[in-house]
Amino acid sequence: MSDDQDKTPDLTKPAPDFEFRFDGSPSAASVRRDVAASSKIVEDEPSTHALTVLIPARNEELNIGGCMESLLRQTEPGFELGRHWYLLVIDDSSTDETFAIASKLAEGRDGVQVLRAEPLKSQRKGFTGKNAALWLGAQQQVAQTAKWLLFTDADTLHEPNSLHRAIVEAERHDVALLSYSPKQINANLAQRAVMPLIFSELASTYPPKKVSDPSSPIAAANGQFLLVRRQVYFDVGGHKAVAAEVLEDVALAQKVKRRHTIRFRYAAEAVSARMYRTTAEMVEGWTKNLALLFRNPLFMALIALLNFVLLLGLPLLPFVWPNLVYWQVLAIAILWLRVLVRYFGRVGRSNVPFMDRVLSIVALPMFALLLFRSWQKVKIARAVVWKGREYTT
């Protein structure tokens, strides 16, 4: 057998798209690739340092200390805080001790600054609180002269040296935006059961390989870790351009990908996040987001309920109908195994431990309820509540 015959295709690479339509015009995929390849980043102002990290924080007294401490440990030879990178914390009208805790940690440290955002004039129009806080941070000198900007949430924990490695990764892959999906830290059984369902659907709706593929129109990012070239950020309008967006991370990624290449992946080795500390927080948070993230939340809710009925109901049929003959019991068993394999194949995309995937089965009705509740708030009421503020959708 020749060497050419012995070669197997590389299945890790996306399948090629047709370069031209039947009428001879370029395909949309080829246009996107050409635009991404030709959009060279030219800085209108030279960078004075590698990175500025921006953290928006509203009522984060339980999280801000751990987040800042994990970031302050990022300093290493050649990547020193106050020289090669800077940290900005923007307090978003907190009513707890967030500002005091952040200010104490910043005390006496070069390169760390804590700002207070002005109270929002309106919660229904213009900026969301998070976008206003981040746009304020982006106006600071250390943000306007950085080569890279990292937007990260106060509920994140960063592994040592992860910031420098992220910059190296972004530059090695020649991307304008790099976003990580963090390892999720769950506070209770309800979160352990529900979160795999949501993150598996996110991975199915926004496949990281397609997000990272310049020929694909799919764009996404996770605001818990969003690293972007400063010049590109301001070229697309930054958080001012997505001011009223509740899903500002996805909206920003979409704007960047129209002109540049982006990269998105799961990165448990770099960052983790405790999104919610209580079940009530989780319900409020996902009610705000689910109907914005998914096009057909009601259909997804029906599928979740159907999976619940099939996964738990099919094994009970032989006991409910004891007169079933052998072949009928076998057919039920085969159907159940098929549903089970497909379910675990899908929920496995959530990158959670196996026992959490098993536990997720009993949370399917709760997931369906969250989808319905989100649809009701986002599509019907056209308003969502988050951290004491109401925003129109």
Mean pLDDT in each 10-residue stretch from start to end of the chain (393 residues)?
Answer: 39 41 50 56 86 98 98 94 97 96 96 94 76 97 97 98 97 98 95 97 97 97 98 97 96 97 98 96 96 96 97 92 88 95 96 96 98 96 90 86
Q: Is 14 exposed, middle or buried (0-12, 13-18, 19+ CB in 10 A)?
A: middle
Angle at 123 between CA 118 and CA 128, to 5 degrees: 70
Distance CA 135, CA 132 (A): 5
pLDDT for res 44? 77
pLDDT for res 3? 42
Residues 6+ apart with CB under 8 A from 228: 148, 149, 150, 151, 176, 177, 178, 252, 256
pLDDT for res 389? 87
Length of the chain: 393
**In 10 A of CB 353, how many CB atoms?**
11
pLDDT for res 392? 87
Angle at 268 between CA 267 and CA 272, to 5 degrees: 110
3-state secondary structure of 5: helix
Residues 6+ apart with CB under 8 A from 88: 52, 53, 54, 55, 112, 113, 114, 115, 137, 140, 142, 143
Distance CA 348, CA 335 (A): 20
Angle at 35 between CA 33 and CA 36, to 5 degrees: 65
Distance CA 260, CA 39 (A): 6
pLDDT for res 39? 60
pLDDT for res 325? 87
227 within 8 A of 166, measured Cβ to Cβ = yes
Residue holding tokens 């390169």?
Answer: 111
Alpha-helix runs per DSSP H in the chain: 3-6, 28-38, 64-72, 98-106, 129-138, 141-144, 162-172, 189-205, 208-211, 230-235, 238-241, 248-257, 279-293, 297-313, 317-320, 326-347, 354-359, 364-375
